[in-house]
Amino acid sequence: MAYRYGTRHQITLLPDSIEEYVSDDDPVRAYDAFIESIEIASLGLTLDETAVGNSAYDPVMMLKILVYSYSYGWRSSRKIERALYHNLSFIWLAGGLKPDHKTLSRFRKEHKEVLKNLLAQCARLCYKLGLIEGNTLFVDGSKFRANASTKRSHSKQGWQKISARVDKRIAELLKECEAIDDRESGSFVKMNKELQTQQGLKTKIAHLLEEFKDEDKINSSDPDSRIMRGRQGSHSSYNSQIVVDEQHGLIVHSDVNSQANDLNQMYEQISQSEATLGQRCETACADAGYSSVDDLKKLADTGRTVVVPTAGSLVKEGDNGFGKHAFEYNEDTDTYICPAGRSLYRSYVKKGTNKIVYRMKDASACRKCCFYGLCTNAKRGRTIVRLKNEQVKDKLDIIYNSEAGQTIYSRRKSKVELPFGHMKRTLGAGQFLLRGIDGAKAELSLLSCSFNISRMLTLLGSVTAMRRRLQAI
């Protein structure tokens, strides 16, 4: 049979114009149109055509490259540089320019605030296109590894011990330097270099010790990160938060913090999302990790419907019928009535918490009860813990257990957990490249924006349709 043979010596390899490198329905044109539709000034990006000095790369073009590369899981500046030489879509997007990896890396580091603002502009654009309603918002968090090793995390006492060893080594080096003859310049230069390294380490440790407050450990590579436990073990990590709209699962807001759990995050994340959209949501939903009643009360008091399972909102499997739900609270007497008809009185408030403990005045009566051994085995008798805002918790439990609440909660996983799966599995972005909490926020914003653009292409049907809709705004 016949074969087709290629040749590297043909006269024309590519079209005459870079514009012809990609077809009209190539996805790269959608990313280009998206950035062109954003108000650059609102990102905090300043364009100065009259600036003196050597000409710099167009910041808008650099932004396009980063958004497009992150959307396909290319986050390494060296990989992006390689693509600018060999990938036609990158060559088209950059207009033939080829910034090197150092330029790309420096732009990303120097424009963290711009990248953080990118998602907000993306969400507002989706809102104008009718792809985001803002009525029901879902919140979720996930651990992303920091660009730091756990071996560089130490407690205050640990850093003090390391500092003592460094001081000892510096003293030894200074003593040896004094003993070296001036003619032995090679040894002196080598020792002087180590001395500078040790002195630099001492200065760095001194700054770390100044930052210690109540933290257990601080990492020298990324002081903003904290050791957090996840499915793959304990690592220096950040707690990433996203807020997703119910209509099409688009991300409205993203944030990063150093807290090991999601408690006390709900109100802040919803408030930030509402500020982005310029309207108040009707319903806010999250999993049990956000079940801080004091935090949820801020949302419930403003008339929003809050769908979050709190501790004890459901009867757990294996409950023998003597859970807290079996005890009736009497508001007039501020007591709990147990299944045997006896009263549990307010005993004390747990120090540093909003929890009130209720017990029987006579513990022996509890031990003589026919339910002793089933209800409790404690010699002091049964204990019931009530929150100061228990009434708010009861209202939240009613909403969560209602048919409407369960309907909303059943849609949570498919909406808010999907973006994290896309980022970590499809894009391979389980770890941040930039260090510091501002860098982590910038990267999460880029990843969230990449997810939204990918969803927009699916929702609007084609690249041509998306470009047409964006141009009409």
As a whole number, mean pLDDT of residues 257-265 equals: 90
| Residue 9 confidence (pLDDT) above 70 | no
Residue 314 has pLDDT above 60, yes or no: no
Instruction: Yes or no: say if 103 and 57 are a contact pair by the CB < 8 Å rule.
Output: yes
Task: Give bridge partners of residue 235 from the DSSP assignment.
Answer: 228
Question: Using 50, 70 and 90 to split pLDDT, how confident is the model at 379?
Answer: confident
- Are residues 459 and 79 in contact, defined by beta-carbon separation less than 8 angstroms? no
pLDDT value, residue 170: 64
Q: How confident is the model at residue 44 (pLDDT cuts 50, 70, 90)?
A: confident
Q: Whole-model pTM? A: 0.83
Residue 1 has pLDDT above 60, yes or no: no
- Tell me the pairing of strands 283-285 and 136-145: parallel
Query: pLDDT (tens digit, 9 = 90+) per residue, 16-36?
Result: 788 888 998 999 999 999 999
Under a CB-based contact definition with an 8 Å cutoff, are residues 202 and 167 in contact?
A: yes
What average pLDDT does this structure show over 397-405?
Answer: 92
What does the DSSP 8-state code read for residue 77? H
Residue 454 has pLDDT above 90, yes or no: yes
Q: Indicate if the pLDDT at residue 254 is higher than 90.
A: yes
pLDDT tens digits along 81-105: 999 999 999 999 999 999 999 999 9
Give which of 111, 100, 109, 110 is closest to 77, Cα–Cα: 100
Instruction: Read off the pLDDT of residues 106-159 as tens digits, 9 standing for 90 and up.
Output: 999 999 999 999 999 999 999 999 999 999 999 999 999 998 887 877 666 665
pLDDT tens for 175-228 read 666 666 555 555 555 556 655 666 665 565 566 556 655 557 777 778 888 888
H/E stretch holding 406 reads helix 403-410
Instruction: With H, G, I as helix, E, B as strand and everything else as coil, classify residue 382.
Output: coil
Percentage of the chain lying above the pLDDT 90 cut: 49
Residue 53: pLDDT over 80: no
Q: Residue 5 pLDDT > 60, yes or no?
A: no
Average pLDDT over the chain, rounded to an integer: 85
Amino acid 204: pLDDT: 59
pLDDT (0 to 100) of residue 108 = 94
CATH of span 130-147+233-310+395-445:
3.30.420.10
Does the structure show a pLDDT above 90 at 311? no
Greatest mean pLDDT among 6-20, 30-44, 271-285, 317-331? 271-285
pLDDT above 70: percentage of residues in the chain: 82
> CA 262, 267, 269, 274: dihedral to nearest 10 degrees?
160
Domain ranges (residues) in the chain: 18-47+54-110, 130-147+233-310+395-445, 156-215, 324-390
Average pLDDT over residues 312-318: 54
